[in-house]
């Protein structure tokens, strides 16, 4: 008996995307955003959320009128649109608009963000303004498997079987991921502050 085995398909069941963007020639924008972030921190005590020994601004980034904030907001909305169309090519943005909120994170040496997620949203993400060098896992963002079953075996080299996944971001990079995905930021082991702008996005039917 002669048998032939043909691979039919692989379905990405319960797929969790991590979408990476790079903002080209972002140095001037990052300098502007740094100045705006420091001015905001001077004017506000900030909020206590997942930040540990770090400063978290109010969630009003998409309401600000500073030039750097305005420029980055447009790029964030475009990133959300592009990522959504990659997953749902026929998504009707004529019927659904994008709602978003955002905030500034400043992590001094030793500062970190505890594990958390962002309920009530579709996409979450972060744009990196300044990412100082540091030892070990300094400033890495780590994503934690959202599936609830405890697994003891995996396939080496296959991220879909891993229970954790880490990224060492760089300035000018924008990461986008589902809001249900739990994540945290390792302590900043550099000698400079780590500055990023985090955000959430969801869709609302247009009137």
CB 204 within 8 A of CB 44: no
CB 107 within 8 A of CB 194: yes
| pLDDT one-digit tens code per residue, 43-65 | 999 999 999 999 999 999 999 99
pLDDT at 38: 98
pTM: 0.95
In angstroms, the CA 184 to CA 115 distance is: 4
Q: DSSP state, 109?
A: T
The CATH-assigned architecture of domain 24-145+160-205 is Sandwich (2.60)
| pLDDT one-digit tens code per residue, 92-142 | 999 999 999 999 999 999 999 999 999 999 999 999 999 999 999 999 999
Helix or strand run (H / E) with residue 38? helix 27-43
Model confidence at 151: pLDDT above 70: no
């Amino acid at each position: 008996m002669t048998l032939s085995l043909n691979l039919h398909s692989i379905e990405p069941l319960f797929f969790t995307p991590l979408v990476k963007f790079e903002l080209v020639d972002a140095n001037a924008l990052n300098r502007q955003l740094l100045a705006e972030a420091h001015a905001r921190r001077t004017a506000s005590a900030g909020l206590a959320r997942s930040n540990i020994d770090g400063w978290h601004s109010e969630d009003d980034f998409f309401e600000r009128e500073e030039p750097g904030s305005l420029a980055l907001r447009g790029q964030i909305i475009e990133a959300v649109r592009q990522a959504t169309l990659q997953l749902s090519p026929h998504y009707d943005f004529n019927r659904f608009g994008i709602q978003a909120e955002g905030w500034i994170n400043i992590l001094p040496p030793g500062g970190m963000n505890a594990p958390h997620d962002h309920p009530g949203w579709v996409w979450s993400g972060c744009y990196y303004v300044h990412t100082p060098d540091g030892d070990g896992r300094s400033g890495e963002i780590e994503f934690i498997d959202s599936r609830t079953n405890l697994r003891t075996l995996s396939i080496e080299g296959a991220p879909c079987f891993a229970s954790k996944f880490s990224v060492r971001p760089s300035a000018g990079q924008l990461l986008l991921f589902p809001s249900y995905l739990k994540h945290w930021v390792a302590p900043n082991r550099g000698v400079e502050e780590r500055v990023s702008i985090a955000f959430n996005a969801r869709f609302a039917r247009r009137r």
